[in-house]
A and B are shown apart, each in its own frame.
Chain A
Amino acid sequence: MMAPVSAIMLSIDGSIAALFVIFGLGVMVSRQMLASLRFFMWQASALTASALALAYALQAVNLLWVALITFTTKVIAVPLVLRWAAGEEVYGRREVDQAMGIPASVLVAALLALVGWFAVAPVLPTLHGVPFAAINLPTGLIMVLWGAFTVALRRESVAQLMGLLIMENGAFFGSIAIVHNLTVIAEIAAAVDVPIVALVIGLLIRSIRRVTGSTRVGTLDKLHER
């Protein structure tokens, strides 16, 4: 059983969660690649802020590590890696294709948010004494669903990578409320994992551009059953 937390900390975490969702929506619907990356960085900053707020409220030192690792890897390392691996694609102020218009995408996002909420709702009453779970867990699951939708929606490799990264943000946003005790080795491994994923996918994007002349993966459709 965890110690009770003040209403003000719950309000702060709730506000951060709202920002987290707005930035996620920004990644999903922004027309420009660079804007999408910036929304991702803002979202990772919101994740950092939530980890700091929870670390203070729950006196959980491990969450300070999570905040530090998140900020270092996602706000600093991932953009650097992407600039190195696929700089022209990300920083070239390009419009991004998507399979669905923005109003329809927002509508689907709203439906996915309902799905996420109803999936988590039965779990919440069982998390006695986990004060932030009711805020973070549904928000995290919704972001995982939105990230998956972004991967399906976008026809551009870098934008799909953003979708994968916001899914990861979502998984961590949901779990920091309930898991404060990942072992140090797991935290270090998770920290190394994200830049490696970004690096390898960035290099793959560079190869796709070199061979096909574009990073529009929506046009890669030669492989299928006849």
Chain B
Amino acid sequence: MNADCLPVLILLVPLSGALLALLNRWAAPYFSVLAAFITLLLGTSAAWHVEAQGPIHASDGLFALDALGALYLLPVCFVYFTSSLYAIGYLWARQQEQASDEAEPRYRQYFPLMNVFALVILAVPLVANLALMWIAIELTTVFSAFLVAYEDRAEALEAAWKYVALTSMGAMIALLGVLMLYYGTHAAGQAPTWNGLLRAAPHISTPLLLLAFVLWLIGFGAKTGLVPMHTWLPDAHSQAPASVCAVLSGVETSAALYMLLRIYPALAANPGIHDPAAWYMTAGLITVGSAAFMLIQVHDFKRMFAYSTIEHMGIILTACGIGAAVHEQGTVYQLFAHGFTKSFCFFAAGLAGIIFGTQEIAKARGLISRSPAAGWALVLGTLAIAGAPPFALFLSEFEILYTGYSSGQYLPTGLLTAFIVIAFIALAYQATRIAFGASDNIPEQHSAPTIKIPRSSLAAMAIAFIPMFVFGFYLPAPLLHLVHEAALMLEVPA
């Protein structure tokens, strides 16, 4: 297949999945899983091509995919597939658990929206034009609002409203920044793409580039969940179905972070901007630190994983600042590994919610004895997201801290280490209480109905477990090469 067709096909398949899902209610989940699987194959093939033969440029420069885009595209495709598979049984089981008036889940509402939501996330690394990237990010909020509000309760609508209001507000702030950079690249005689921005950066006036960056940081920071613009994130994740949380947390928040990371080399290339890494480290450390302390006092296990997402966004931003002096391998690997690890955590949390009939940590005890599969998934997922060996995130966090200490950046790296340790302890403490705690003195647990764990959800978790575990100790040579190439794209041009 001609590689130039791949970006268009990757976007056309979810669109077809959405249209087919609208046609037939019963076949909707299967069309969606099929579309997601084909997208995964196409995405992998595109990444493979980028690794072997370099960037893809297609449709007269409308689409472009380089190593960093490809490394982000892979988890998006993977999480799209696993969450579509997971949702089939999960939505049924959730319906039973809530004893809803509706006889069946609203597949015809859920799956078309999920496909279009995936389509716009996939567009972020694929489109070349900065303005189109902004539109794709803006549309991720628009198409996921009703997925967050899927359960149609007052709390779910409150969460969806906060999500839409705050992230759209961020998007409007970022829009002015995007258009300023559009002007900057054009005035320097370059195209408004990442490469054009990089070439134009030394010639863009420093105050213009700085103001545009500040608008990006606030605007895309709201979508990423950077503190203090993070407040929508725990609310949305506590109310959305777990299959939606997996995509929101795993790859949607990273879409805005991807934009923040990609502007870094342009800042560094401008001679008037001194130490742009300090901006990244400051914003990142404030976010990681706040999330770590929020994790100590959280009462809802889906909110717990939401705060963990905030923590990870902060880690990646800090890592970008720290890695600037040496190399960015840990940063890009953390972005890659966070996607599938966090989706696994939300899959486990979704099953725990169905089994307990609540998300409150105080009322959730003895998950291992109620369901060994869900219990072990929650424990392993929590350990993986906290950065324990031998999981993939251990590798990236170790790399980030090693880079920081070996390059003599003791203060930011020391703070980052302390926050990661606090978050680790908080996550491990909460997960072990839920999995191994005694449920004898919680009366609600004895009266809770027994709900069979859906097979499609177990299958999705089993698939999601593979990269989370295997990539902690073994990276295939092409993937390792792609990570190296992606890291180079964040490093300061000579």
Q: List the interface of chain A (C-beta within 8 A of B).
A: 119-120, 122-123, 126-127, 140-141, 144, 147-148, 151, 157, 160, 163-164, 167-168, 170-172, 174-175, 178-179, 181-183, 185-186, 189-190, 193, 196-197, 200-201, 203-204, 207-208, 211-212, 217, 220-226
Which of B161, B176, B182, B294 has the most chain A CB within a 10 Å cutoff?
A: B176
Which of A183, A189, A211, A223 has the most chain B CB within a 10 Å cutoff?
A: A223
Contact A164 B173, beta carbon cutoff 8 Å? no
Which residues of the partner chain B approach A208 to less than 8 Å between Cβ atoms? 157, 161
* B97 close to chain A: CB less than 8 A: no
Contact B176 A170, beta carbon cutoff 8 Å? yes
Contact of A182 among B176, B182, B238 (CB under 8 A): B182
User: Closest residue to B61 on the A side, CB-wise?
Assistant: A183
Instruction: Determine the distance from Cα of A164 to Cα of B149 in the docked complex, in whole angstroms.
Output: 20
Q: A178-B183, A190-B131 are in contact. Are A147 and B208 (CB under 8 A)?
A: no
Contact A164 B154, beta carbon cutoff 8 Å? no
Which residues of the partner chain A approach B169 to less than 8 Å between Cβ atoms? 147-148, 151, 163-164, 167
Q: A126-B205, A141-B176 are in contact. Are A197 and B168 (CB under 8 A)?
A: yes
Render B107-149 as a binary contact track against A, CB cut-off 8 A, 1 for contact. Answer: 0000000000000000000000101100100110011011001
Instruction: Determine the distance from Cα of A189 to Cα of B127 in the docked complex, in whole angstroms.
Output: 12
B227 smallest CB distance to A (angstroms): 14
Q: List the interface of chain B (C-beta within 8 A of A).
A: 62, 129, 131-132, 135, 138-139, 142-143, 145-146, 149, 152-155, 157-162, 164-165, 168-169, 172-173, 175-176, 179-180, 182-183, 186, 205-208, 211, 214, 234-235, 238-239, 294, 297-299, 303
Q: Is the interface of A mostly helix, strand, loop or mixed?
A: helix
Which of B161, B172, B207 has the most chain A CB within a 10 Å cutoff?
A: B172
Which residues of the partner chain A approach B155 to less than 8 Å between Cβ atoms? 222-223
User: Closest residue to A181 on the B side, CB-wise?
Assistant: B186
Q: How many A-B residue pairs have CB under 8 A?
A: 140
Which residues of the partner chain B approach A225 to less than 8 Å between Cβ atoms? 234, 294, 297-299, 303
Q: Is the interface of B mostly helix, strand, loop or mixed?
A: helix
Contact B173 A167, beta carbon cutoff 8 Å? yes
User: Closest residue to A213 on the B side, CB-wise?
Assistant: B154
User: Closest residue to A178 on the B side, CB-wise?
Assistant: B183
Q: A122-B207, A225-B298 are in contact. Are A174 and B179 (CB under 8 A)?
A: yes
